[in-house]
Amino acid sequence: MMPKALRGMLRFWLFDVGSASFLGTGLLALVMMLVLAFSGKYDAMPIMLGMMQVSTCAAIAWQLNRLSATEWASLVPGYAESIQWQALIVGIIATMISLTAAILLPLEAAVQQVLLASLAGVAFIYFCRRHIKGFYFSFALFLLLPFTPEMTAFLPSLSFYLVPLAVVGLIYLIRADLRAEVWHLEARSVYLNGLEMGWFWLPNLGSNSLMNRLDRWLHPVNFFVGPMLSMMLVLLPALALLLGLVNYFVGIELPVLFIMGQFSAVACTLVHWSRVQRWRATETLYILPGFDGKQGLIDAFASAQYRLLGYFTGTMALLATCTLILKPDFTLLIWSHLVLSTFCVCAFLLGLGCAARSAMHISLSMLVVICHAIWLSTALVALREGRDLTTYVTLDIGLVAFSLLTLWWGKRKLWREALA
Distance of CA 353 to the CA centre of its chain: 15
18 in Cβ contact with 194 (< 8 Å)? yes
Q: Supply the pLDDT for residue 348.
A: 93
What is d(CA 195, CA 418) in angstroms, rounded to the nearest whole number?
A: 22
Three-class DSSP category at 42? coil
CB within 8 Å of 356: residues ≥ 6 apart? 272, 276, 362, 365
Predicted pLDDT at 289: 75
DSSP state of 15: S
| Spatial contact of 277 and 394, defined as CB atoms under 8 Å apart | no
- Whole-number pLDDT of residue 316: 93
Contact 65, 190 (CB under 8 A): yes
Average pLDDT, consecutive stretches of 10 residues, N- to C-terminus, the chain (420 residues): 67 74 78 70 74 89 84 75 88 90 80 88 90 78 75 74 88 86 70 58 58 84 81 83 76 74 85 79 76 83 92 93 84 90 94 79 73 80 77 91 92 76
Which residue ranges make up each domain of the chain? Answer: 2-196, 204-413
Of 147, 393, 142, 396, give the one whose Cα is nearest residue 269.
142
Q: Which amino acid is at 408?
A: W
Tell me the CA distances in angstroms from 206 to 10, 189, 265, one per residue in order: 42, 21, 25
DSSP 8-state code for residue 147: G
Phi-psi region of 204 (alpha: psi -120 to 50; beta: other; left: phi over 0): beta
Distance CA 201, CA 282 (A): 23
The pLDDT of residue 200 is 53
Nearest alpha carbon to residue 240 among 144, 338, 315, 143: 315
DSSP 297-363: HHHHHHHHHHHHHHHHHHHHHHHHHHHHHH-TT--HHHHHHHHHHHHHHHHHHHHHHHH--SHHHHH
Name residues whose C-beta falls within 8 Å of residue 408's C-beta, 6 or more positions apart in sequence.
351
What's residue 378's pLDDT? 78
Does the global pTM surpass 0.85? Answer: no
How many whole angstroms separate alpha carbon 58 and alpha carbon 20? 11
Predicted pLDDT at 361: 66
For residues 153 and 29, give the distance between their C-alpha atoms in angstroms, rounded to a whole number: 23
User: According to the model, what pLDDT value does residue 123 have?
Assistant: 93
Q: For position 359, what pLDDT does the model report?
A: 63
Task: Report whether 272 contacts 197 (CB < 8 A).
Answer: no
Dist CA 399 CA 334 (whole Å): 16
Report the alpha-carbon distance of residue 121 to residue 91 in Å, rounded: 10
3-state secondary structure of 96: helix
Question: Which region, left, alpha or beta, applies to residue 198 given φ > 0 means left and ψ of -120 to 50 means alpha?
Answer: left
Q: How many CB atoms lie within 10 A of CB 99?
A: 17
